[in-house]
């Protein structure tokens, strides 16, 4: 296996059955402008620390996966232009060429699982893109959830996606889609999608119990726990849906495809909503960190 640099604090926690939560680095290099990206990454880590959980932000520096980036490394990541995004298919090349890369949901899951981290907090997962019937544009995140043993806490799939098809795909892949205190799949910037999750989870204890049963019975693959954005930070449905539709049209007109699509759409939506969507995005990640922290603590306790 590729050598991996695990932060001593993360290593200690894992050895002593103390809670650790993984975080991705795409949010730093592709999610937001500097210095907002670095501030947000450190705020998310702080939420975990405030709940007595060790954060493990994952990124790749000089071809080596870093599990538990230091504030200096996060700062460097946030400032450096042109850091690529690494999904499963990119990892061997990035390792071999000793490149820098930000980890997506898929590659963060892979590295977290290799390091022995169960819980991973993100904003929203990738999914089936609108128009995928023609383009076959489906995020690798969904395949990863089907086979990698990590629990992902998110605010649903990104709202720019085809949410009904994303749920359909996850069901086909045998991934449990659970709602934290909700029966409805949250739609990232808003609490409602009109779509049902497989099961509602009442509390942290129940979440941990489900995770441990899945592991104990060797039912391979991830678990998706969807956690709605807090009411006061949720966006107005009409405003956000109009912005998404407009951004999708712009992407189409400009011929933007593949892995450039999501960063383009998110950036355009921020511009179209006068920055409101960025604020919502930050708040939902902080809220996911809080829920993820408590679930990680419960998993350690019940172990």
Q: Could you write out the DSSP letters of every residue in the chain?
A: ----EE-HHHHHHHHTT--EEEE-SHIIIIIS-TTHHHHHHHHHHHHHHHTT-EEEEEEEETTEEEES--HHHHHHHHH-TTPEEE-GGGHHHHHHHT--EEE-HHHHHHHHHHHT--EEE-S-B--BBTTHHHH--B-HHHHHHHHS--EEEESSB-TTB-HHHHHHHHHHTT--EEEET-SB--BTTBS--S-B-SEEE-SHHHHHHHHHHHHHTT--S-EEEE-PPPGGGPPPHHHHHHHHHHHHHHHHHTT--GGGHHHHHHHHHHHHTTTHHHHHHHHHHHHHHHHHHHHHHHHHHH-
Residue 213 designated active-site: no
**Cβ count within 10 A of residue 278:** 20
The pairing of beta strand 54-61 with beta strand 101-103: antiparallel
Catalytic residue among 75, 85, 158, 297: 158
CB 185 within 8 A of CB 195: yes
User: Which one from 24, 144, 294, 298 is the annotated catalytic residue?
Assistant: 24
Residue 24 among the catalytic residues = yes
Two tokens, residue 140: 């690798």
Size (the chain), residues: 303
Angle subtended by helix axes 276-302 and 36-50, to nearest 10: 30
Q: Indicate which residues carry an active-site annotation.
A: 24, 158
């Amino acid at each position: 296996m590729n050598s991996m640099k695990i932060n001593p604090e993360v290593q200690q926690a894992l050895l002593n059955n103390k809670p650790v939560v993984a975080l991705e680095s795409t949010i730093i290099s592709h999610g937001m402008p500097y210095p907002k990206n670095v501030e947000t990454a450190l705020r998310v880590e702080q939420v975990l620390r405030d709940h007595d959980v060790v954060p493990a932000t994952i990124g790749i520096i000089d071809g080596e996966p870093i599990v538990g980036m230091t504030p200096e490394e996060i700062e460097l990541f946030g400032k450096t232009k042109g850091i690529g995004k690494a999904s499963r298919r990119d990892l061997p090349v990035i390792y071999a060429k000793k490149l820098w890369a930000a980890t997506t949901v898929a590659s963060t899951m892979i590295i977290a699982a290799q390091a022995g981290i169960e819980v991973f907090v993100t904003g929203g997962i990738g999914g089936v893109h609108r128009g995928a019937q023609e383009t076959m544009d489906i995020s690798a995140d969904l395949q990863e959830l089907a086979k990698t043993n990590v629990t992902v806490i998110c605010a649903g799939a990104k709202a720019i996606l085809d949410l009904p098809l994303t749920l359909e795909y996850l069901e086909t892949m045998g991934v449990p889609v659970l709602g934290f205190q909700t029966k409805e799949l949250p739609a990232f910037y808003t609490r409602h999608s009109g779509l049902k999750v497989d099961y509602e989870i009442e509390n942290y204890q129940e979440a941990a119990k489900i995770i441990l049963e899945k592991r104990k019975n060797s039912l391979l693959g991830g678990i998706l726990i969807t956690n709605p954005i807090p009411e006061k930070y949720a966006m107005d449905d009409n405003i956000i849906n109009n912005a998404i539709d407009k951004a999708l049209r712009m992407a189409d007109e400009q011929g933007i495809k593949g892995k450039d699509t999501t960063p383009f759409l998110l950036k355009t939506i921020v511009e179209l909503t006068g920055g409101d969507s960025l604020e919502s995005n930050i708040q939902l990640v902080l809220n996911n960190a809080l829920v993820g922290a408590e679930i990680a603590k419960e998993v350690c306790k019940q172990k």
